[in-house]
Amino acid sequence: MHTDDTALYEACRQGSGAQSDAFGEIWRQFYRIAHAMLRSQLDADALATDCAQLALIKLHQRLDTCSNPAAFRAWANQIVRRTVLDELRRPERARA
């Protein structure tokens, strides 16, 4: 487990087993945040899993845009929060 944001950021950028471990750590963090935001939803577990996965994809695609590796977790957490909010705003979710 990475305790330092810069170390976690660097591990995510590597192309080795360290990268896999780092993304696993981020996914668990994303799931906890998404689940906390969605606990009042009927399908909270499934939706939290979907949002965490979508957010992890976005993080991977945008990794080079993180301007402050020392604040990597805060930057990453914003991605998952926005992903959850976007999912809740989708018209088909509003009808469900």
Q: Residue 95: exposed, middle, or buried by beta-carbon count in 10 A (0-12, 13-18, 19+)? A: exposed
Measure the CA–CA gap between 40 and 24, rounded to whole angstroms.
26
Query: What confidence score (pLDDT) does residue 67 get?
Result: 94
> Is it the case that residue 6 has pLDDT exceeding 80?
yes
- State the Cα angle at 70 between 4 and 78, rounded to 5°: 100
Query: What confidence score (pLDDT) does residue 74 get?
Result: 94
CA distance from start to end of the chain: 38
Query: What confidence score (pLDDT) does residue 2 get?
Result: 62
Structure confidence by residue, pLDDT tens digits, 12-71: 888 778 888 898 889 999 999 999 998 888 788 899 999 999 999 999 999 999 999 999
Fold held by 5-95: Rna Polymerase Sigma Factor; Chain: A (1.10.1740)
What's this model's pTM, rounded to 2 decimal places? 0.79
